Amino acid sequence: MVPGDLLAPSRKDAAQHRWYVVTHTLPESPEVIRVTLRPPLGGVDHEEALRRDQRVTVAGRRMDVAAVPLVTSPALDGTEFRDGDRLHSLRAVDPRAAEVTYVRRWGAWHVDSDAPDDRGDGVTDAEVRRWAAEADREGTVVRHEPRPVRAAEAAGARRVVVTGLGAVTPLGVGTGELWQGLLEGRHGIRELADEEFDGLPVRIAGTVPVDPAGLLPRQAARRMNRAAQFAVLAAREAWADAGYADGGTRESGVDPERVGVSLGAILGDASVLVGGDRKLRERGPRGVSPLTTPMTVPSQAASQVSLDLHITGEARTVTSACASGTEAIGQAVDRIRYGRVDVALAGGAEAVVTPAIMASFAAMRALAGGDPAGGSPSRPFAEDRDGFVNGEGAGVLVLESEEHARARGARVYCEAAGWGLSADAHHVAAPDPSGDGIALALRRAVRDAGGRLTDVVHVNAHATATVDGDLAEARALRGVLGQRDVPVTALKGHLGHLQGAAGGVEAVAAVLTLHHGLVPPTVGCAQVDDAIDLDVVRGEPRALPSAGDLVLSNSFGFGGHNAVLALRRVA
């Protein structure tokens, strides 16, 4: 017998897989040899005197004594256990044993494994202390690992970029029509000629000039409400603009589980429910289509985009009044930042130019009147502004983690750098005149983007052309940005107020502003209200300032919802 031999001192030990490595031998007499034994996977030594005629079981292998660690299991009698602590137990006498790890949860120790824990309610603290006390004698190694206490630190976040754009607006179908119309100072506000609008005090709106159903397969269009049709058309354009193949994720070789949809909507398409109610009164229950309910819910746009492009990662809908589209983009930014998805189509879609909605807004005295033929009736920041113009449409961005976009060689428009939310907690419809809630969202967006207020080179304002709303936003912007003359533009003179889609469409315009280095003019503002005190871009497009890299896109809604998106120029 020599050091390195692996043996079981008795047949019982062999049957129970209790083996030891001989680390040292010392003859005591011709009949007795004293051996020092250590568990083969590490532990403490003990000695045994073996007689010449004593039977032992020797394994058919020899071990390197220097490779067998000499370790002892510390006593845990005075240790204070906490949930989250880990305990590692290794039956070191069995060469084939695997370490078992226990985690303390709810005051008991459970096996850290996906397999069911056959110990029922878990192991008690007293039992764990007994294991540690008997470990050396039993040939077991027990290690206690306290739950680490770490200082709070920011989680690692991925950079998010914009790679695709799509839009359906009162200026036409496509981002090309939108951008050209913005630069040329055109508007898409029209008279509502349908009989159903007869008798309304205001009969103008920003309506999409083509029937979206005619641009989609007939069978598919019949199952979508008008807002969903806008959303699908904008999403298809954005998907193709990002360099992906027509058809969706499968045709593009993209894992559909790593792609998401995040769209904002207030009502989606209010006409479906109104039409269903009319048919119920005229024809009875059998006259109501079974598609009425699925085509009424605000989430239909997100659902239809996911169906059309075969996106299975997630399909989210955000409803926060007129801030819905911007908040939906912000939420998509976070879903990509923290690894939930790699790609997202985000924005907003809305189709609420209906008699009841128009009548309601008119009753609130919130709508502007006037003849669209003589110029835009929507006059953001103007001294003669008198209300907003209701509108419809959709705007969609393709967002990706930067590494995902770079890996496939995608064209990057800009970085979706951050976003901010706040609530006025002031009134069910009117904005807080102090602008404090808006200012909070502005500061949060810049902070989330890792920037400074001096980095802001342009603001795409919400500016609905209501007297109090524009003034509150202007007060907030001046308070946050200080006395710097940051160029500000407002697009609702071109488009009207697209409600839940406004944030999506205006984000598309803000991305294009960064990409082309041009700020579109504000239409309808012949003379800026002296109380506004902002550098409002009017007349002609203006070059984007070079000293800075952040553009802010604002959206604020009834009830005090405030959302701001921060976009950063990329080299």
In DSSP terms, 560 is beta-bridged to none
Helix (H) or strand (E) holding 91, with range, is strand 86-91
pLDDT of residue 151: 60
Q: What is the mean pLDDT of residues 346-350?
A: 98
pLDDT of residue 152: 53
Cα(506)–Cα(169) distance, integer angstroms: 11
Cα(323)–Cα(563) distance, integer angstroms: 6
Percent of the chain with pLDDT over 70: 97
Which of 420, 266, 269, 262 is closest to 347 using CA atoms?
A: 262
Band the pLDDT of 114: cuts 50, 70, 90: low
Is 462 part of the annotated catalytic residue set? yes
pLDDT of residue 61: 80
Could you tell me which CATH class the domain 160-569 is placed in?
A: alpha beta
Could you tell me where the DSSP H helices lie in 50-152?
A: 125-138
Band the pLDDT of 150: cuts 50, 70, 90: low
Cα(77)–Cα(253) distance, integer angstroms: 58
Question: Annotated catalytic residue: which of 144, 404, 497, 515?
Answer: 497
Structure-block tokens of residue 412: 């990057």
CB atoms within 10 A of CB 484: 13
Cα(304)–Cα(268) distance, integer angstroms: 12
Q: Is the pLDDT of residue 474 over 80?
A: yes
Residue 426: Cβ-neighbour burial (10 angstroms; 0-12, 13-18, 19+): middle
Is 525 part of the annotated catalytic residue set? no
Q: Is the pLDDT of residue 492 over 70?
A: yes
Determine the residue type at 484.
R
pLDDT: is 118 or 212 the higher one?
212
Determine the residue type at 556.
F
Pairing of β 561-568 and β 414-423? antiparallel
Question: pLDDT tens for residues 52-64?
Answer: 999 999 988 889 9
Per-domain boundaries in the chain: 5-67, 85-145, 160-569
SS3 422: strand
Asked if residue 391 lies in contact with residue 353, where contact means CB atoms within 8 angstroms, the answer is: yes
pLDDT of residue 421: 98
Supply the Cα-derived Rg of the chain in whole angstroms.
35
Helix axes 467-481, 436-448, angle to 10 degrees: 50
Indicate the average pLDDT of the chain: 93
Q: Is the pLDDT of residue 392 over 70?
A: yes
Is 427 part of the annotated catalytic residue set? no
Cα dihedral: 471, 476, 477, 483 (round 10): 100
Question: pLDDT tens for residues 499-524?
Answer: 999 999 999 999 999 999 999 999 99
Question: Annotated catalytic residue: which of 144, 187, 322, 561?
Answer: 322
Question: pLDDT tens for residues 10-19?
Answer: 999 999 999 9
pLDDT of residue 273: 73
Band the pLDDT of 115: cuts 50, 70, 90: low
Q: Is the pLDDT of residue 545 over 80?
A: yes
Which of 420, 413, 408 is closest to 398 using CA atoms?
A: 413
Question: Annotated catalytic residue: which of 187, 458, 462, 515?
Answer: 462
Question: pLDDT tens for residues 272-327?
Answer: 877 777 788 888 888 888 887 778 889 999 999 999 999 999 999 999 999 999 99
pLDDT of residue 409: 96
> Structure pTM?
0.75
In DSSP terms, 159 is beta-bridged to none
